[in-house]
Amino acid sequence: MNCLLCSSNIDKVFFSEKGTSFFTCNTCDAIVRNKDSFLSVEEEKTRYQKHKNDVNDLRYQKFVSPITNAVQKDFPSKDTSGLDFGAGTGPVITKVLSEKGYHLNLYDPFFIPDISVLKITYDFIVCCEVIEHFHHPFNEFQLLKGLLNPNGKLYCMTDIFSETKDFATWYYKNDPTHVIFYTEKTLQWIQKNIGFKRVTIENRLVQFTR
């Protein structure tokens, strides 16, 4: 199969269990799920609808705090525009930042498919627990970069894979909607090949600067 991110031909099975294989890419270092095990659009949406994302849940708000804190630090002026990309059924980041005086538009391909918000540009974009779901990550990162104003920032949260983790017991791979997993090398490949100025990685928080 071809790598979801860089389209390189990959045939090295990284891990396999219960009929599902994961491949590793020698070019961009991504780990990708075998396309044969992707859920259908209907199955994927049904799974997302089962997520219990209560925007008033303080634990949920704390979980997304690396992004909300970073936005407030980098953009202290409320006279900025933001996009919550992949907002899902519980746009908690938008709630938290809105209460601080920020304005964000919402987009989600399943639940808020308002493409009009993809026709303007933003000072910042938040993308929390979304990029591991990208079926066409190169195109999607290109889109996100194009939606940023000069010096704008893209804030992503995902669980980054490293050799210190045991993939066999890693919980993140068990979600069938997670189709691509990123290493630091993968994120650096994206920065270089999509054309971001820089990328900074701190635990689960990844920040790309246009």
Of the candidates 131, 154, 145, 161, the one whose C-alpha atom is nearest the C-alpha of residue 70 is: 154
Whether residue 6 lies inside any domain: the answer is no
| Cβ neighbours, 10 Å, residue 46 | 12
Position 46 scores a pLDDT of: 92
| Cβ neighbours, 10 Å, residue 11 | 6
Whether residue 103 lies inside any domain: the answer is yes
Whether residue 113 lies inside any domain: the answer is yes
Whether residue 4 lies inside any domain: the answer is no
Whether residue 190 lies inside any domain: the answer is yes
pLDDT digits (tens, 9 = 90+) for 151-205: 999 999 999 999 999 999 999 999 999 999 999 999 999 999 999 999 999 999 9
Whether residue 8 lies inside any domain: the answer is no
Of the candidates 135, 140, 55, the one whose C-alpha atom is nearest the C-alpha of residue 95 is: 55
pLDDT digits (tens, 9 = 90+) for 72-88: 999 998 899 999 999 99
Whether residue 75 lies inside any domain: the answer is yes
For residue 204, give the CATH number of its domain: 3.40.50.150
- Please state the domain count of the chain: 1
Whether residue 144 lies inside any domain: the answer is yes
Quick one: average pLDDT of 125-139? 98
Q: Which residues pair with 23 in a beta bridge?
A: 13, 32
Residue type, 20: T
Cβ proximity of 155 and 207 under 8 Å: yes
Q: Which domain holds residue 59?
A: 13-209
pLDDT digits (tens, 9 = 90+) for 4-17: 999 999 988 999 99
pLDDT digits (tens, 9 = 90+) for 26-67: 999 999 999 999 999 999 999 898 776 778 788 889 999 999
